[in-house]
């Protein structure tokens, strides 16, 4: 392994600190004894860029800021110090960050996140947010993040200090209006509750609670910025607020509340940002964020506080024009927004590289053309945080490559070398399990036809997801069996330990679909011999669920706090039990104890319509009832 060294006496102090921290995990060393010596020259004229040039046997890095310098180090590591030609990378973004969801069960441990921070620094990122709705301790609030893996102030300070050493700004990312169902479930918060997930605007106790939240992050993070959320408050003012204060227009309630929260932020010398969607939803007759017919009155625009920054979140458009249109709408409000893009992890068993590429590749150029100079990439954990989140680093590496090479095609071979050197993995291998979602026949570029998670959670007797997809494409499951069988074969041939979990998933999905096909055919024909074969295959699937339970546990505990794992364990255990129930029901039918299996009686129903959205969520495919 090539050792790269630097001379501390000739290096900027902040960069010295970062390189020293990175040297614990990468082949970097102080002094001139390495295989390659790198000299750093700070050059303010190289705005948001760096260059690497050869000077005899030495390498010179000229850079503007620390994240560009560390990106250069990542490049040198990727090339093992073999710099044959001058290299220059530049970006139009001054802030390049991430937002990791720590509120949907998976709360990453401090040590594991430190590993992420090291990788982010060498990829060229300089900002990070941990999205915490309630997963942080709050003085005097014992139910805040109760049994949810909440971060202590000491843990957040430790993360902040480590990130600071690497030139990464940690920004508090919380909620101060909606998405607070996790704390509002507790009766101690009834006084500040408007609806099941939204705080009661205008109630003084609400602002005392919010002040505690904001004061907490002012004390644990060095940053003078904070993300205060306020997105997707669809039922704002329609619960206890309506009873207490009467009807008020959503725009007015929202701006009134925002003004109060901004005042609290100012008290703690923090500059807030919010998600922007509610302004557009309230201006839409169908409450749609991206509605072309959205109308926001001029007097509402005038009342949007100018002390806040708007974050335009968009993880969905696969065309540059869509982003440009929405950016212009934000500018019409009087704001050049911060961009919140997405590296796709939510509702997925593995990072969805195909979807990330389809969206990010259009988002970044649109931002560049529109003069947006701050961007971050969200990684949500909707539906339980069951994604293998470490796989998302492939998406972050790809996104960084686009950001630093916006004026030319990215070098895919350099991307793979960079990933290997910085993230210690094979890029192609780690992206292969993205095929746990099936993209063949996709009607819209970048989105899967079949979701692996939906198959995993589908109940073996009800088959809600199975039947819905069959309505649209009768032969879809025959194709899916072949797809997952081939994928399992590919993954099982890879010796990488990180892939064993994905291989197990692919094998289970293949067997589960094949069994369902056989079950439906045999039941419709009342073919008892074939039904006996179904019974014979059930133990193998139950065993796979049991193995998957162990695999999920190992994967989860390698990077997350234990809280939230119980959700996954309950799901897997219940599905194994449901397969035992399927076996019992078939046996009872064959033995004449029952005349029919009620759950399978309407297999030939031709009146059902295909439903295009919602079946990627566990509770919508596991049962006919939402009571779970």
> What are the tens digits of pLDDT across the range 125-164?
999 999 999 999 999 999 999 999 999 999 999 999 999 9
Q: What is the mean pLDDT of residues 395-405?
A: 97
Alpha helices in 444-596 (DSSP H): 452-457, 464-472, 476-492, 497-525, 528-559, 565-590
- Structure-token pair, residue 558: 């390698």
Q: What is the mean pLDDT of residues 534-540?
A: 98
Q: What is the mean pLDDT of residues 410-434?
A: 97
* Residue corresponding to tokens 């669809």: 234
CA distances from 324 to 101, 128, 197, 329, 399 (A): 26, 25, 32, 9, 19
CA 117 to the chain's CA centroid: 16
- What are 430-459's pLDDT values in tens digits? 999 999 999 876 656 789 999 999 999 999
Q: What is the mean pLDDT of residues 482-500?
A: 95
Q: Which residues contact 9 (CB under 8 A, 6 or more apart)?
A: none
Highest averaged pLDDT of the listed ranges 34-48, 319-333, 398-412, 436-450: 319-333
Residue 116's pLDDT is what? 98
- Structure-token pair, residue 543: 């065993």
- What are 541-576's pLDDT values in tens digits? 999 999 999 999 999 999 999 999 999 999 999 999
Contact of 85 with 119, CB cutoff 8 Å: no
Average pLDDT, the chain: 96
* pLDDT for 408 beyond 80: no
Structural domains present in the chain? 4-90 (3.30.160.230), 95-428 (3.20.20.80), 450-621 (1.20.120.670)
**What is the pTM assigned to this prediction?**
0.97
Contact of 296 with 333, CB cutoff 8 Å: yes
CA atoms of 265 and 314, how far apart (whole Å): 26
Half-sphere exposure of residue 27: CA atoms within 13 angstroms, side-chain side = 18
Pairing of strands 28-30, 4-6: parallel
Q: What is the mean pLDDT of residues 95-101?
A: 98
Q: Which residues contact 414 (CB under 8 A, 6 or more apart)?
A: 75, 78, 79, 401
Name the band, by pLDDT with cuts 50, 70 and 90, for residue 214.
very high
Residue 425's pLDDT is what? 96
* pLDDT for 616 beyond 90: no
Half-sphere exposure of residue 426: CA atoms within 13 angstroms, side-chain side = 10
CA atoms of 171 and 224, how far apart (whole Å): 8
Q: What is the mean pLDDT of residues 350-374?
A: 97
């Amino acid at each position: 392994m090539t050792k790269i060294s630097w001379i501390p006496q000739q290096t900027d102090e902040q960069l010295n600190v970062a390189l020293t921290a990175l040297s614990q995990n990468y082949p970097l060393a102080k002094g001139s004894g390495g295989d390659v010596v790198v000299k750093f020259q700070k050059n303010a004229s190289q705005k948001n860029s760096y260059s690497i040039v050869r000077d005899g046997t030495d390498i010179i890095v000229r850079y503007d800021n620390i994240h560009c310098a560390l990106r250069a180090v990542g490049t040198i590591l990727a090339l093992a110090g073999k710099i044959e030609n001058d290299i220059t990378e530049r970006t139009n973004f001054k802030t390049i960050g991430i937002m990791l969801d720590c509120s949907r069960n998976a709360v990453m441990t401090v040590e594991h996140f430190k590993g992420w921070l090291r990788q982010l620094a060498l990829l060229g990122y300089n900002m990070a947010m941990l999205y915490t709705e309630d997963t942080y301790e709050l003085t005097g609030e014992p139910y805040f993040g109760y049994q949810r893996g909440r971060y202590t102030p000491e843990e957040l300070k430790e993360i902040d200090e480590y990130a600071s050493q690497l030139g990464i700004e940690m920004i508090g990312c919380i909620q101060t209006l909606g998405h607070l169902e996790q704390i509002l479930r507790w009766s101690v918060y009834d006084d500040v509750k408007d609806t099941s997930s939204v705080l009661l605007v205008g109630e003084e106790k609400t602002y005392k609670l919010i002040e505690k939240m904001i004061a907490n992050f002012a004390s644990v993070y060095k940053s003078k910025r904070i993300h205060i959320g306020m997105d997707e408050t669809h039922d704002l003012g329609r619960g206890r607020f309506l009873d207490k204060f009467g009807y008020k227009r959503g725009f007015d309630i929202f701006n009134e509340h925002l003004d109060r929260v901004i005042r609290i932020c100012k008290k703690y010398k923090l500059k807030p940002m919010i998600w922007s969607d509610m302004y557009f939803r309230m201006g839409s007759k169908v409450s749609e964020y991206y509605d072309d017919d959205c109308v926001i009155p001029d007097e509402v625009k005038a009342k949007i506080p100018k002390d806040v920054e708007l974050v335009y979140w968009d993880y969905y458009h696969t065309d540059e024009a869509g982003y440009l249109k929405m950016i212009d709408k934000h500018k019409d409000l009087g704001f050049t927004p911060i961009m919140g893009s997405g590296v796709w992890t939510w509702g997925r068993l593995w990072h969805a590289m195909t979807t990330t590429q389809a969206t990010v590749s259009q988002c970044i150029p649109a931002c560049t053309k529109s003069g947006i100079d701050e961007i971050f990439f969200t990684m949500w954990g909707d539906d339980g945080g069951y994604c293998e989140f470490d796989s998302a680093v492939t998406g972050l590496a790809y996104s960084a490559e686009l950001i630093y090479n916006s004026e030319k095609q990215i070098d895919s071979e350099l991307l793979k070398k960079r990933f290997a050197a910085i993230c210690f993995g094979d890029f192609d291998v780690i992206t292969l399990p993205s095929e746990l979602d099936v993209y063949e026949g996709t009607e819209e570029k970048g989105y899967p036809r079949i979701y692996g998670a939906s198959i995993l959670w589908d109940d073996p007797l009800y088959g809600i997801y199975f039947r819905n997809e069959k309505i649209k494409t009768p032969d879809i499951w025959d194709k899916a069996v072949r797809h997952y069988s081939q994928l399992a074969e590919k993954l099982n041939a890879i010796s990488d330990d990180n892939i064993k979990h994905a291989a197990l998933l692919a094998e289970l999905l293949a067997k589960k679909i094949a069994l369902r096909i056989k079950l439906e055919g045999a039941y419709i024909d009342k073919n008892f011999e074939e039904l006996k074969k179904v019974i014979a295959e059930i133990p193998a699937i139950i065993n796979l669920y049991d193995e998957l339970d162990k695999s999920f546990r190992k994967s989860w505990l390698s990077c997350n706090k234990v809280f939230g794992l119980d959700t996954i364990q309950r799901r897997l255990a219940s599905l194994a039990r449901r397969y035992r129930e399927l076996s019992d029901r078939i046996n009872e039918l064959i033995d004449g104890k029952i005349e029919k299996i009620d759950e399978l009686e309407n297999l030939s129903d031709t009146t059902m319509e295909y439903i295009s959205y919602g079946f990627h969520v566990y509770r919508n495919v596991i049962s006919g009832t939402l009571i779970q």
